[in-house]
């Protein structure tokens, strides 16, 4: 934890906390922001004076999690005591492999059910709801283009998104007749989103033929079909070439500018620093740190969690020196040994070393 948990010391966040409502922002209002009336970067201002503490209260939380646990056999994948996600902000969820990030996403969006705990959106409990019901309330997550979805066209994928996250088991929704009534409206919405994400020319291509970056764009566009208020993105930049990264980052920021609350899982810390208003760090199922991006890299618990989990983490200078010295000794020993083996007169290692 930082020495001064409220580094800016101003009263800026008090505007949100005390109910000041710039340009249509109404704390506590069900539904939160709507298109076009969101002041830019309001979430950053609102979060400015929030202490960098695990489980800290936010000025206007869209999502609140309490005592949620999920175990698989003897393994506790998620154990979150308290977490609040600020409305209208971009929250980055980071942590080493196996920390429980995806499991938490699955729980919050109804794709999995916990062993215990409660969680709510706009004060309404989401417990026991299906992904479809959660999506209808306004909380969606991206899910990857699986094999089955790869065999659908880009437009068909979008229309599936309109079904409210029913996923592959609802492929039958594509059977003519079942969604005909809404077909026109959905197709128009899909095409407008495809235009925005520059995928319109690909509408009739099989999704499986898209590049990694285009798939990510499609995943994001598909999630928006149900007009969500909270969008949860699972590694939105993974496998994306640098040329498309900026475009994807722009789209994520756009979601915030349109008033959505964004939670995303990401391993690339440059991306996390660039777009997050707030970062939540998980390790071994628990939340071990929270704060703005600049607070995270200095946090000892975070450093320990990453060093413990990533054996390929960069070495310190001392470690580098030690490894180098060991390597030099090993090379030297090998050279002497080679000399022994190659010597034709049966000289010993001892003699070679002299």
Ligand X SMILES: Nc1ncnc2c1ncn2[C@@H]1O[C@H](COP(=O)(O)OP(=O)(O)OP(=O)(O)O)[C@@H](O)[C@H]1O
Residue 114 binding ligand X, by CB under 6 A? no
Q: Which of 291, 297, 303 is nearest to 7 (CA)?
A: 291
Residue 307 binding ligand X, by CB under 6 A? no
Residue 157 binding ligand X, by CB under 6 A? no
Q: Which residue blocks in 164-235 are alpha helix, DSSP H?
A: 180-196, 212-223
Residue 315 binding ligand X, by CB under 6 A? no
Structure tokens at 329: 């000794």
Q: Which is nearer to ligand X, 2 or 98 (CB)?
A: 98
261-265 and 230-234 as β-strands: parallel, antiparallel, unpaired? parallel
Residue 142 binding ligand X, by CB under 6 A? no
Candidates 38, 86, 103, 214; binder of ligand X (CB under 6 A) is 103
- Which one of 69-77, 213-221, 305-313, 324-332 is the stretch in contact with ligand X (CB under 6 A)? 69-77
326 Cβ neighbours under 8 A, 6+ residues apart: none
From residue 70 to residue 89, the character string flagging contacts with ligand X as x (rule: CB under 6 A) and all else as - is: --x--x-x------------
Residue 256 binding ligand X, by CB under 6 A? no
The span from the CA of 28 to the CA of 146, in Å, is: 37
Candidates 7, 98, 117, 167; binder of ligand X (CB under 6 A) is 98
Q: Which is nearer to ligand X, 310 or 333 (CB)?
A: 310
Structure tokens at 18: 């005390």
**Cα dist. 318→179, 315, 325 in Å?**
64, 8, 11
Residue 161 binding ligand X, by CB under 6 A? no
The span from the CA of 14 to the CA of 100, in Å, is: 33
Candidates 3, 9, 74, 97; binder of ligand X (CB under 6 A) is 97
From residue 26 to residue 65, the character string flagging contacts with ligand X as x (rule: CB under 6 A) and all else as - is: ----------------------------------------
The span from the CA of 160 to the CA of 216, in Å, is: 16
Residue 300 binding ligand X, by CB under 6 A? no
The span from the CA of 217 to the CA of 167, in Å, is: 17
Provide φ and ψ at 230, rounded to 5°.
-120, 125
Q: Which is nearer to ligand X, 98 or 208 (CB)?
A: 98
Question: Which residues form the interface with ligand X (CB under 6 A)?
Answer: 72, 75, 77, 95, 97-103
């Amino acid at each position: 934890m930082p020495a001064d948990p409220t580094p800016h010391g101003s009263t800026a966040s008090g505007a949100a906390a005390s109910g000041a409502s710039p340009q249509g922002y109404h704390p506590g209002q069900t539904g939160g922001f709507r298109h076009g009336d969101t002041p830019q970067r309001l979430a950053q201002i609102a979060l400015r004076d929030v202490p960098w503490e695990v489980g800290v209260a936010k000025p206007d939380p869209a999502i609140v999690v309490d005592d949620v646990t999920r175990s698989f056999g003897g393994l506790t994948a998620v154990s979150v005591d308290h977490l609040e996600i600020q409305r209208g902000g971009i929250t980055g969820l980071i942590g080493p492999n196996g920390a429980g990030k995806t499991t938490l996403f699955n729980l919050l969006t109804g794709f999995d059910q916990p062993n215990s705990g409660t969680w709510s959106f706009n004060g309404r409990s989401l417990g026991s709801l299906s992904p479809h019901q959660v999506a209808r309330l306004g909380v969606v997550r991206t899910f990857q283009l699986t094999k089955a979805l790869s065999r659908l066209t880009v437009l068909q994928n979008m229309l599936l998104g309109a079904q409210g996250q029913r996923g592959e088991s609802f492929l039958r929704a594509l059977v003519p007749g079942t969604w005909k009534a809404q077909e026109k409206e959905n197709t128009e919405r899909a095409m407008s989103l495809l235009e925005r994400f520059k995928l319109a020319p690909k509408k009739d291509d099989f999704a499986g033929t898209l590049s990694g970056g285009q798939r990510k764009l499609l995943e994001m566009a598909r999630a928006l079909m149900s007009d969500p208020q909270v969008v949860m993105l699972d590694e939105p930049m993974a496998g994306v070439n640098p040329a498309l990264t900026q475009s994807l980052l722009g789209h994520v920021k756009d979601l915030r500018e349109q008033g959505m609350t964004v939670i995303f899982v990401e391993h690339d810390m440059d991306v996390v620093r660039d777009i997050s208003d707030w970062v939540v760090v998980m390790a071994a199922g628990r939340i071990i740190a929270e704060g703005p991006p600049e607070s995270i890299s200095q946090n000892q618990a975070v450093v320990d969690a990453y060093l413990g989990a990533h054996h390929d983490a960069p070495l310190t200078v001392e470690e580098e020196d030690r490894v180098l010295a060991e390597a030099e000794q090993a090379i030297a020993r090998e050279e002497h040994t080679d000399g022994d083996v190659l010597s034709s007169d049966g000289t010993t290692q001892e003699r070679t070393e002299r």
